[in-house]
Homo-oligomer: A and B are copies of this chain.
Amino acid sequence: MNEHLNAALAYAREHESEFLETLKEVVAFASISTAEEFRPEIEKTAEWVAKRLKALGMERVAIMPTAGHPVVYGEWLGAPNQPTMLIYGHYDVQPVDPLELWETEPFVATVRGENLYARGTSDMKGQVMACLSAIEAVIKTGSLPINLKFLIEGEEEIGSPSLPAWIEANKALLQADFCLNPDAGMLGKDYPTITYGLRGLASFELTVFGPRQDLHSGVFGGAVHNPAKALAELLAGMHDENNRITLPGFYETVRPLADDERVKLAALPVTDDFLKQQTGVPQVWGEAGYSSVERAGGRPTLEINGMISGFTGAGQKTIIPSKAMAKITCRLVLDQQPEQIYAQFQRYLEEKAPATIRWELKMYDGSAASISNIEQPAVKALAQAMQTVWGKAPLYKREGGSVPVVGMVQSSLDMESVLTGFGLPDDNLHAPNEKMHLPTWHLGIEMLIQFLFNF
């Protein structure tokens, strides 16, 4: 076994440039799931992934339709009496705007320094390709020590709306001992990280309607409520002076952070200075009574993702806009449910919106938060592999982001997820110039090889 491991590690080192070329191939697809016009790219990406799974010797490889974008499935069950690992991934990516801020084309992978730049390099085609590269190294040098199943979906960036039904319909197919989910990142390049907590998501679009069309601000200014102003008032009122969210009942079902967990979180290398340096903000901000790392991972939040009203071109246009819109997402913790947040948001608007305007609140799909058991054998196997490669024990963190599939896998398949990944905090996820740190990516591949031999 040790011989096979060494051969696999050697294979991985010898094939670093081939692995990189393969990653470049898949990030070239503009598989943006948020807009219908990219559907052909989504389909091409699914086909590419399926082809790649077949090339690795996976069986029953299929592009399986869902109500939305397809799931790519594949399996290899040639290791009787060994555990089966379900590998989760998504092949869709975030939109790329503002396009003008990209230094190079978002779908032309470009190496600059130690990084590979392109949409999806870190979130998460690069993570999926790290798994496939590790598996390739092991397969090409012997037989896989454990059984594998793949669930690679195409709707993660829109909240995986079709996945719950698809998982329910394919429960038998997906049976496995645990799920490896490499869609969570590292706290820094020298900090191998295992994520055990994920926030949920509730996503909204709030529109405020004023006059039936734009008005001349000289003729009507002072006599009607400006909807951009009314929206600003409603948005401003959604946090109180302690930066706590004011949607009625918002904190009622929030599970408090346990004392021992707060102690562990305080030990993470995520200081306020680190956050300021990572983001460029002059000062951190947030809910009173909690540290930044607690707020960003263990507490619920409400964010404006976008906002638009009236005239925003060059120069001036003296109008009162007819309407104003904001996109808002809440990150949820246990035991909040997206539907509750929607009801609370409605109530907030019913109570706070003035009679001088009309409003409309739309909800997108959401997901609940989740916590994984860090005592399961797969977590221990992963921690051991990290210790071997980085020479240190992993950090255990709560992740502020939302990976809806973790909750689905837990509730539908009664399966624990093991969350990790090789993305870094400065990878520009969901932002221009997304990148993957290549030395870390190669270490990740080695670590995954080690991991496969730890069962």
Contact = CB atoms under 8 A, between A and B. Distances in A.
Interface of A: 34-35, 94-95, 97-98, 101, 158-159, 185, 199, 201, 203, 205, 210-226, 228-229, 231-233, 235-239, 275, 278-287, 292-293, 295-296, 299-301, 303-321, 324-327, 329, 331, 354-358, 364, 399-402, 425, 428-433
B431 A215 contact: yes
Contacts of A306: 228, 309-312, 317, 319, 321
B222 A301 contact: yes
A406 to B, nearest CB: 13
A327 to B, nearest CB: 6
Oligomeric state, in number of copies?
2
A316 B281 contact: no
Given A97-B313, A311-B95, A219 B401 contact: yes
A279 B211 contact: yes
Given A218-B402, A236-B233, A225 B309 contact: no
Contacts of A428: 213
Identify whether the interface residues of A are mostly helix, strand, loop, or mixed.
loop
A128 B187 CA distance: 67
Given A216-B431, A228-B306, A279-B215, A159 B222 contact: no
Nearest to A214: B431
A400 B219 contact: yes
Contacts of A296: 219-223
Contact of A356 (B213, B281, B429): B281
30 contacts: A34-B314, A35-B314, A95-B313, A98-B214, A203-B316, A213-B428, A213-B433, A214-B430, A222-B287, A223-B295, A223-B296, A225-B283, A228-B304, A231-B232, A232-B235, A233-B236, A236-B236, A284-B356, A285-B356, A303-B320, A306-B310, A307-B321, A308-B309, A308-B312, A310-B327, A312-B327, A316-B327, A317-B430, A318-B401, A318-B402
Contacts of A303: 217, 221, 226, 229, 318, 320
B307 A224 contact: no
